[in-house]
């Protein structure tokens, strides 16, 4: 059973992530722990010690618990958690990294709204949480009801490490898989071609799936602009790939992709 940490704030992105996660737990062998970081205002920061500090921290804890509870009450989503929400106080990235560093988690899930500004996504994946995370991260942008997953290769993805990792998180009989090799090209429409166009990548990737007794529904090279290919990806409930670390066409594709994305680590992380 995999264990996921679901980040919840009292906002729209968390609302969508919560609904999506409730779908996931019905499809996958996944348990969820809700987590929230209460970030103190600079003015709020207590310089006190002892009782004063404990009282201040307790107040923030309660505020965080109430924020998460309000979200859960509003959404009324049947999402089973393994315990009550964990509330941390401090810097959001640092606190989540510390919790993920405990080794209890196989996956971190959070919502992030799809925007027209690619820089927003670049800032997200360049943040300490994303660059230092010990486990894969699922970024939920929209609530998608589908049972198809795209395994996205090409443009620096180490398929030998990403695909087994993604499959270990998504194990279960509920999902179907397409293998996609992305290639950037300035064309009006997307063009799908045979897997041979990707050299050995898709052949090897297909073997990795076969080793897990999975037959992909489609194996293809998709060529086009990030915008056009991102529009094509909206039919998938999840797009699994590796963390992009530079501003490449794949990063732009992931920024534009309206579907949730699963980011796994390349083995060496030398380049992406």
How many other CB atoms sit within 10 Å of the CB of residue 58?
Answer: 11
Distance CA 257, CA 114 (A): 8
Q: How far is the CB of 241 from other proteins (least distance, A)?
A: 20
Residue 116 binds other proteins, judged by CB under 8 A: yes
Separation of alpha carbons 1 and 3, rounded Å = 7
* Interacting residue with other proteins among 6, 32, 108, 141 (CB under 8 A): 141
Pick 114 or 126: Cβ nearer other proteins: 114
R_g of the chain computed on alpha carbons: 20
Q: Which is nearer to other proteins, 46 or 114 (CB)?
A: 114
CB of 215 or CB of 235, closer to other proteins: 235
Residue whose tokens read 């443009």: 155
Nearer to other proteins, 41 or 173 (CB): 41
CB of 9 to other proteins, least distance (A): 10
DSSP reduced 3-state for 268: coil
Question: Does position 13 bind other proteins by CB under 8 A?
Answer: yes
> Whose Cβ is closer to other proteins: residue 16's or residue 135's?
16
| Contact status: 114 vs other proteins (CB under 8 A) | yes
Decide: residue 71, CB within 10 A, 0-12 exposed, 13-18 middle, 19+ buried: buried
Q: Return all residues near 218 (Cβ < 8 A) that are at least 6 apart.
A: 178, 179, 180
Give the x-and-dash track for 219-248 against other proteins (CB under 8 A): ---------------x--------------
Q: Which residues pair with 31 in a beta bridge?
A: 3
Question: Do residues 186 and 228 make contact, with C-beta atoms less than 8 angstroms apart?
Answer: no
Q: Does 113 bind other proteins (CB under 8 A)?
A: yes
**Is the separation of the CB atoms in 222 and 104 below 8 Å?**
no
Residue 145 as a binder of other proteins (CB under 8 A): the answer is: yes
Least gap, CB of 244 to other proteins (angstroms): 20
Between residues 115 and 185, which has the closer beta carbon with respect to other proteins?
A: 115
Build a one-symbol-per-residue string for 253-272: x at contacts with other proteins by CB under 8 A, - elsewhere.
-----x--------------
Answer for which of 5, 15, 137, 223 binds other proteins (CB under 8 A) is 15
- Residue 166 interacting with other proteins (CB under 8 A): no
Contact between 12 and other proteins by CB under 8 A: the answer reads yes
Contacts with other proteins by CB under 8 A: the residue count is 16
* Cβ proximity of 5 and 108 under 8 Å: yes
* b (16+ CB within 10 A) / e for 127-147: eebbeebebbbbbbbebbeee
- The count of other CB atoms within 10 Å of the CB of residue 196 is 11
Question: What are the residues binding other proteins (CB under 8 A)?
Answer: 11-13, 15-16, 113-117, 141-143, 145, 234, 258
């Amino acid at each position: 059973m995999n264990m996921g940490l679901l980040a919840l704030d009292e906002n729209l992105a968390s609302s969508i992530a919560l609904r999506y996660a409730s779908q996931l737990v019905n499809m996958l062998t996944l348990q969820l722990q809700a987590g929230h970081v209460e970030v103190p205002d600079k003015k709020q920061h207590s310089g006190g010690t002892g009782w004063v500090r404990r009282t201040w921290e307790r107040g923030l804890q309660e505020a965080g618990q109430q924020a998460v509870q309000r979200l859960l009450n509003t959404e009324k989503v049947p999402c089973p958690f393994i315990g009550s929400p964990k509330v941390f106080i401090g810097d959001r990235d640092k606190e989540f990294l510390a919790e993920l560093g405990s080794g209890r988690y196989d996956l971190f899930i959070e919502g992030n709204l799809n925007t027209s500004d690619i820089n927003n996504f670049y800032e997200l994946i360049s943040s300490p949480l994303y660059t230092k995370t010990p486990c894969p991260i699922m970024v939920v942008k929209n609530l998608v009801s589908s049972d198809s997953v795209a395994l996205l290769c090409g443009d620096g993805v180490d398929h030998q490490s990403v695909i087994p990792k993604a499959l270990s998180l998504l194990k279960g009989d509920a999902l179907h898989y397409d293998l996609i090799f992305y290639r950037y090209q300035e064309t009006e429409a997307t063009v799908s071609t045979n897997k041979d166009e990707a050299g050995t990548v898709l052949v090897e990737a297909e073997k990795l799936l076969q080793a897990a007794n999975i037959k992909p529904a489609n194996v293809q090279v998709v060529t086009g602009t990030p915008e056009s290919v991102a529009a094509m990806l909206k039919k998938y409930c999840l797009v699994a790939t590796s963390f992009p670390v530079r501003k490449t066409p794949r990063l732009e594709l992931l920024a534009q992709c309206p579907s949730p994305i699963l980011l796994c680590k390349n083995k060496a992380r030398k380049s992406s």
